[in-house]
Structure 1
Amino acid sequence: MIKRIPIRSLKVGMYVTDLNNDWIPHNNDKRRGIVRTDETIEKIKRLGVTQIYIDPSKGLDSIDGEPVHEVDKQNETLLQQAGGLAPHLAPHAALDEEMIIARRIHSETQSLVGNLMQDVKLGKAIDLAPVHELAGNIQESVFRNPNAMACLGRIREKDNYLLEHSVNLSVLMSIFGKAMTHPPDVLHQTVVGALLHDIGKILTPDEILHKPGRLTPEEFAVMKKHAVHSHDILASTEGIGELTLLTAAQHHERMDGSGYPCGLKGEDISVYGRMVAIADVYDAITSNRVYHVGMTPTQGLKKLLEWSGDHLDPELVRQFIRCIGIYPVGSLVLLESGRLGVVIEGNEDDQRLPVIRIMYHTRFRMPIKVETLDLTKPNAQDRIVRAVDPATYKIDIRRFLA
């Protein structure tokens, strides 16, 4: 039985199944195996790991362990508590109408970020005018119906992660900042910061940036420099806003000081840095990449809750969940009827009752006629049991989001 133990209880001879450190960006450390030396334990501690998962059937046990199912139950309880908070955003436009506009904005923004990176690589200055324009377009789309841009954030290709991540982070920060009632100028600056947060990666050698295998400690040290590069590039950009710079510069800082580039702690990290850190981790761990199979959205939210306090701001995590829902757009959920459906819209009154696109029946193990189900309607007569992994049923959710 797999258990979670505090890092202080890790001993030589234990079998690690998960370092539980996906809050570390570009993390692809070896996750499994017998701990053979005290040096290995010290290395894991230096990563900022506070809790780790072991398998006592393959190595030594620990009296401090919590069974993994108990950990999941605790995280589920915390998630449902967050689900009791009323949602923040109400759509003002129909989803199908806004999707047409959102697709154009999404495509234009990806192209813009790609062009900006090439300009930086060639030594050109960043022209902020088109950045401001598209950041404004993203904000306007989110105001009309946040579910449209959120849907597009789940329709992604792992080989285009860098560009899609920048766009999706700006969408998440737009949704998050609006829910936190940030003034329009503040919201706009943080969205621009999210769009440009990884601009420094263009100065990271391709063989490291696109390496499919594990990074060596030396390579990871080079990778981490992208945060400094992003700060320096933006700081030298004429007309850059102070909050834009803060948002981009602090997206890898962590509450316990284990982040980078400055190792800031707690309140020393701006609220915008703490917000973008949450959105950045969520988007990273729920995305498929060359070296990483993404978690489901709901699994990702549970991990945010598990890492709250040590690494992420716990109150801001709750607010983030409040604004994207405990079943975020793109989640595959199992209903009491045995049917499966993809969440396509949140609910402005109760985030536990979203709008779902039904397409499969688990009892008959077969696809069924696609239909849309609004769980708030009296005739819905169905409820969500839990979120499930699309891979279990070999369902490509992207087909039902577009």
Structure 2
Amino acid sequence: MTLKKLNVAELRLGMYLHGFDGSWLQHPFWKSKFLLKDANDLRAAHNSGVQTCWIDTARGLDVEADAPPAPTPSPEPEAAAPVPVLAPEPAKFDQELQRAAALCLNARDATASMFNEARLGNAIDTLACLPLVNDISDSVLRNREALISLARLKSSDDYTYMHSVAVCALMVALAQALGLDEAACRDAGMAGLLHDIGKAHMPLDILNKPGKLTDDEFATIRRHPERGHDLLLSGGTASAAMLDVCLHHHEKIDGSGYPHRLEGDQISLLARMGAVCDVYDAITSNRPYKAGWDPAESVARMISWKGHFDNKILSAFIKILGIYPTGALVKMRSGRLAVVIEQNPATMTRPVVKVFFSTTANAHIAVERIDLARPDENDVIVGREPRGRWDAALIDEMWAGDLASRGIW
């Protein structure tokens, strides 16, 4: 490998692009290492607004011989840690929500491109995913609620792609909560992003079917972990952890999962984490054949499924989300209904809510924001409220504002 740094304006066809300087969000490609052989790609790079980049002269053309020498690169520039050593400054929920929205849009498009590459039979370079996992990790570190909650608002059309993004964010947050080291947090995020890549080789008419799958269709879908494992293995860049989570995220603690019916400690830690994150996002998301369950109802159901999850991991996961996760519809002791809009880390049972309806008067009331953790606040949550009779868009707008109605992913 012979790396050289140059201005993006100096890029020309035939050069091997090794990477851009700056955030992944700034450049126009889902991957950053490829041979520039398409004029449209070259134009996109020139118009990206990114100032400098790296080329590998051993795999493509060098700069012109009469061009001024480029700066010498520092050793191993591609090995920047995906989970920063210096954590980003914490952000308030509302602040991070806006940044998370921009990240969701770009992450959806990048993940869709990655799946399309896989459908075309091209190998997946997992190293190209590191910048995206970096940005997701940074968002989770600033405020883990924002991206995790927002990714749940995915449309059924974008489910496969945004599910991968959501599971990535959930895996990073769970790894951090479990006290895993930097390398393990990186692997957790990468594994979450790539866990369902095998669905790129599943028939689209089955993936997007608006009704219940037949037994034969379900048998086909059950092969996606093995197809994904083979796909990642052929790329040659996936870690053992990524391969394992891709293959075993549908295993269950009691041995009733697939594809290998592993049980207990036969299932790796990251695969057990992947099982929890995968199921939570799946059951809280809208699908062609059903509306997503309320977040609090989903947590309650997951607790009730004996033998499905590792209890220690599930407990850590619930501490991340709260017993009443952001977006949950709840009933107050006062008879009012409320939507959870933010967590209070010190007390899972007393989040910040917005009340909007009185069950005693059977009428809408003025929306009021209440921090249930305040010492002078006497009202408390007494239980979950079924979503069935309520406008889902109204509920989501309570905590996500106009992002809930944009339909942008």
1:111 counterpart letter in structure 2: D
Match of 1:123 among 104, 115, 121: 121
Aligned to 1:314: 311
Where has structure 1 moved over 4 Å in runs of 4 or more? Answer: none
Aligned to 1:251: 249
Higher mean displacement: 203-212 or 325-334: 203-212
Equivalent residue of 1:342, what SS?
A: strand
Equivalent residue of 1:340, what SS?
A: strand
- Provide the TM-score with structure 1 as the length reference: 0.73
Retained in 2: the 8 A contact 1:113–1:196?
Answer: no
Aligned to 1:387: 384
Aligned to 1:365: 362
Distance 1:279 1:224 in 2: 18
Distance 1:339 1:158 in 2: 31
- Matched-pair identity in %: 37
Equivalent residue of 1:393, what SS?
A: coil
Match of 1:171 among 169, 174, 179: 169
1:135 maps to 2:170 = no
Match of 2:322 among 313, 325, 334: 325
Equivalent residue of 1:182, what SS?
A: coil
Which has the higher Rg, Structure 1 or Structure 2?
Answer: 2
Aligned to 2:148: 150
Cα root mean square deviation, aligned:
1.8
Aligned to 1:184: 182
Equivalent residue of 1:392, what SS?
A: coil
Shift of 1:294: 2.6
Retained in 1: the 8 A contact 2:194–2:246?
Answer: yes
Match of 2:343 among 319, 326, 346: 346
Equivalent residue of 1:372, what SS?
A: strand
Shift of 1:395: 4.6
Higher mean displacement: 361-370 or 223-232: 361-370
Distance 1:288 1:369 in 2: 29
Distance 2:247 2:177 in 1: 22
1:279 maps to 2:272 = no
Cα deviations by residue, 1:353-399 (Å, 9 ceiling, x for unpaired)? 11112322222333333332111112333111111122233353221
Shift of 1:193: 0.8
Shift of 1:129: 4.3
Q: Which has the higher contact order (CA 8 A, sep 6+)?
A: 1
Equivalent residue of 2:331, what SS?
A: strand
Retained in 1: the 8 A contact 2:152–2:281?
Answer: no
2:330 counterpart letter in structure 1: V
- Provide the TM-score with structure 2 as the length reference: 0.72
Distance 2:283 2:152 in 1: 12
Aligned to 1:196: 194
Distance 1:369 1:175 in 2: 35
2:372 counterpart letter in structure 1: L
Distance 2:165 2:248 in 1: 18
Which residues of 2 match residues 290-301 of structure 1 at below 5 A?
290-301=288-299
Give the number of equivalent residue pairs. 311
2:363 counterpart letter in structure 1: M
Equivalent residue of 1:368, what SS?
A: strand
Equivalent residue of 2:364, what SS?
A: strand
Distance 1:269 1:177 in 2: 16
Aligned to 2:258: 260
Retained in 2: the 8 A contact 1:198–1:227?
Answer: yes
Retained in 2: the 8 A contact 1:330–1:401?
Answer: yes
Aligned to 1:374: 371
Equivalent residue of 1:282, what SS?
A: helix
Distance 2:130 2:369 in 1: 36
Equivalent residue of 1:235, what SS?
A: helix
Distance 1:197 1:114 in 2: 14
Is the alpha carbon distance of 1:151 and 1:366 closer, same or farther for their aligned partners in structure 2, counting shifts above 3 Å?
Answer: farther
